[in-house]
Structure 1
Amino acid sequence: MVHTPEGVGFGDVLAELARRRQEFREQRYVPKDFIDRLKRIGIYRAATPSKFGGQPLPPAEFCQAVERISVVDGSAGWVASFGSAQIYLAALPLETQAELYRDGPDVAFAGALFPMQRAAATERGYLVDGHWKFASGCMGADVIGVGLPGDDDSGGKPRTAVLRPDQAEIVQDWDVVGMRATGSFDIVVRGVEVPREWTFIRGGAPTVDEPLYHYPTIAYASQVLAVVGAGVARAALDHARQAGGGYTGVTGAPKLADRAYYRTEVARAEAELSSARAWFYDLSDQVWQHVLRGDTATDEHNARLRLASAHLARVSSQVVDRLVEISGTAPIYTAHPLRDLAGDALVPKQHAFLGPAIFDSAGAVLMGLAPTSPGFR
């Protein structure tokens, strides 16, 4: 269970989110005061090493928490999902992590990893200068990471430089049809020297020897995004069931729930989403139990986790699109709930971690070949 210090209940935070989600969408980001609320229910310590005061959760438990948030608002779920980012940060030197968590285990990280920008090596580290996109949650972040290309020292894997928010400029240019409140703004950094010990290899070996940091890192980063789509799809199904008993078209046709095609498609959508979720969570638990036994996760474990995540994201988006299609003319209005849900469900499916290339790479690994896309493992 997500820890809830100071008597703050998960349900209380969800109720507040329901009241404020339109505010967040209009300003295009989840504000720091609400991220602080998420901290108080343990979202931002759920992947912090226990040696630094964290309370790391099994991946499936954290994903379930993110999914619950996403049912209420996909953008807030997306921002909350980066409470898992400490699995990346666990590749920092232990001394750096001790400094990072000096004031407590609840640290919000926002990563602007693409496009990767070259940084000149200095005696102490790297001279960082460039412009990056998609820094989700940056308006409430405690630290911001920017992506650097791989080098000989990293084995070709990309590197991330960690900065304080006051070392970067946030450019508020987020204007999208889905996940409008994620605040996935651009980050600009000009001539900041980042010490080498404040950089890490993305997906690199952890310096913390605890079970969570032996779970496949990039796969986990994919999972926490996929469940946002699942939460959005659940919200759409909940709406469809409620609306079915009340909506009558202008033509005088029967209520939606009295139409065979509507009942059939809602049932099919329920079955497909539930099936994709069940496989996703069952597989996550299998790999977690493997890691808890002290065994090393295999390339096939990683491939199956990536595949299940991409599949869940795709099914979730298809579910919402199908519900729009069978709901008559009502969803053509901009204020209709399914309009925002369709846009939100589209975003996880389009993410690089969950897109079409993942199916090809997963298939290659399952057939004993090397993955076909970079950063797959």
Structure 2
Amino acid sequence: MGRDRGTDAFDEMLEELARRRGEFRDLRYVPADFVARLKALGLYRVATPERFGGEPMPPAEFLRRIERISAVDGSTGWVASFGAQLVYLGALPLETQAELYAGGPDVVLAGGLFPVQEAVPTERGFRLNGRWKFASGCMAADIMVVGIPGDDATAGKPRGVLVSPDRLEIVQDWDVVGMQGTGSFDVVAKDVQVDREWSFIRGGTPVIDEPLYRYPAITYVAQSLSVVAAGVARAALDHAEEVGGGRAGITGAPALAERAYYRAGIAEAEATLRSARAYFYEAADESWQAVAAGGQVSDRQNAHMRLSAAHLARICSEVVHKVVSLSGTAAIHRGHRLQDLLGDAQVPQQHAFLGPAMYDAAGAVLMGRPPTVPAFR
């Protein structure tokens, strides 16, 4: 049996990505022509409501696609993962959503919610002035979001404000050792007026009644970022297993695969990654089954999703570090594939959604106590 057309197109995209990932690192962003390829594959309609032409995808299915992209290039996987972030916009008024999707369901969202910047209330909405960081994917965005403080109506949660990209200045200051191609530049607003109906509470109650919008939005975004690390770690292990048998040491020592410590270390890393990955997808599938059956994700299920996402990000970083430590002097050279992967692997675990505090918060919920961090679901 032949492969379906969608599978072929996805594989062709990955082949092009493998050829161009160096270009994206040099640019420091994924260019619009490649984002258009991701768009054509439907990755930016997976969280668009069905009523507006979207094709919502079970989270685990989307996450597996992001993982495959990330195994070729972590930066592109990170930018593609923002297809999940349209779930945030389910809290927008329906009329605003209808206008947002009037041109079609494929919408690329980017922006910087933090640090939240003060906004001056106006008769119709807000006047924005400020500078926001980490606007990943902003160079090819259809709509941008920036963060302003919450108020009495938001229960302390920040408010996101949608702005057309042409009304913001992009400051290309992304100079990092990991995820170099995400284009996570700063964005600046100068006296930008925005109507209130183009704002939403991040993690607020959605006005859309579809299964995906009963899946916790902040948790889904955390998962979509964590799974990038899984792709990066997979690439490191694939590299180790592929090259291990072919290179002898400069001292005349046996090829890596002939050394017991290398074989055992790579095998242990393989088992460690697969174990963390299995927990991650198990938690996602269990929660999706609950909402697909018409129910809700319980606090306990959400805690397992947040815990498994944070754990996966940490384990993936450890796996890549282990591969590098076992690989000898070849891996210390600038431009070596493992050096790129090492830098990329560091980034997801540093995200606020995936940091060490998530272990404490999840543990608290599993023991029947409130989460110890804000925005846990």
Report TM bin, short chain: over 0.9
Partner of 1:47: 47
Shift of 1:302: 1.4
Task: Give the Cα separation in 2 of the matches to 1:374 and 1:55.
Answer: 30
Partner of 2:293: 293
CA contact 1:81–1:225 (8 Å) conserved in 2: yes
- Say which SS state the counterpart of residue 189 (structure 1) adopts: strand
Q: What is the one-letter code of the residue matched to 1:119?
A: A
CA contact 1:310–1:359 (8 Å) conserved in 2: yes
- Say which SS state the counterpart of residue 352 (structure 2) adopts: coil
- Say which SS state the counterpart of residue 268 (structure 1) adopts: helix
In structure 2, runs of 5+ residues without a counterpart are none
> How many residues align structurally?
374
In structure 1, runs of 5+ residues without a counterpart are none
Q: Deviations over 1:91-134 (max 9, x none)?
A: 11111011101111000000201101111111111111100000
Q: What is the one-letter code of the residue matched to 1:252?
A: G
CA contact 1:114–1:133 (8 Å) conserved in 2: yes
Task: Give the Cα separation in 2 of the matches to 1:273 and 1:118.
Answer: 42
1:210 aligns with 2:213: no
Shift of 1:6: 8.9
Q: What is the one-letter code of the residue matched to 1:134?
A: F
What's the Cα RMSD here? 1.2
1:191 aligns with 2:188: no
Task: Give the Cα separation in 2 of the matches to 1:301 and 1:361.
Answer: 13
Q: What is the one-letter code of the residue matched to 1:310?
A: A
Shift of 1:5: 8.5
Q: CA 1:50 to 1:337, structure 2 compared with 1: closer, same or farther past 3 Å?
A: same
Shift of 1:193: 1.3
Q: What is the one-letter code of the residue matched to 1:83?
A: G
Deviation beyond 3 Å, 4+ runs, structure 1: 4-8
- Say which SS state the counterpart of residue 152 (structure 1) adopts: coil
Identity %: 62
- Say which SS state the counterpart of residue 191 (structure 2) adopts: strand
Partner of 2:69: 69
Partner of 1:315: 315
Shift of 1:8: 6.9
Partner of 2:247: 247
- Say which SS state the counterpart of residue 353 (structure 1) adopts: helix
Partner of 2:238: 238
Partner of 1:349: 349
Task: Give the Cα separation in 2 of the matches to 1:356 and 1:277.
Answer: 18
CA contact 1:130–1:190 (8 Å) conserved in 2: yes
Shift of 1:146: 0.4
Task: Give the Cα separation in 1 of the matches to 2:123 and 2:75.
Answer: 40
Q: CA 1:8 to 1:148, structure 2 compared with 1: closer, same or farther past 3 Å?
A: farther
1:336 aligns with 2:336: yes
Q: CA 1:85 to 1:188, structure 2 compared with 1: closer, same or farther past 3 Å?
A: same
Task: Give the Cα separation in 1 of the matches to 2:358 and 2:216.
Answer: 15
Q: What is the one-letter code of the residue matched to 1:174?
A: W
Task: Give the Cα separation in 2 of the matches to 1:316 and 1:367.
Answer: 27
CA contact 1:8–1:41 (8 Å) conserved in 2: no
Task: Give the Cα separation in 1 of the matches to 2:185 and 2:162.
Answer: 17
Q: Deviations over 1:287-340 (max 9, x none)?
A: 000011111212212111000000000010000000000111111101211000
CA contact 1:5–1:41 (8 Å) conserved in 2: no
1:165 aligns with 2:165: yes
Partner of 1:32: 32
Q: What is the one-letter code of the residue matched to 1:221?
A: V
CA contact 1:5–1:40 (8 Å) conserved in 2: no
Partner of 1:269: 269
Task: Give the Cα separation in 2 of the matches to 1:174 and 1:131.
Answer: 14
Shift of 1:7: 9.3
CA contact 1:6–1:40 (8 Å) conserved in 2: no
- Say which SS state the counterpart of residue 372 (structure 1) adopts: coil
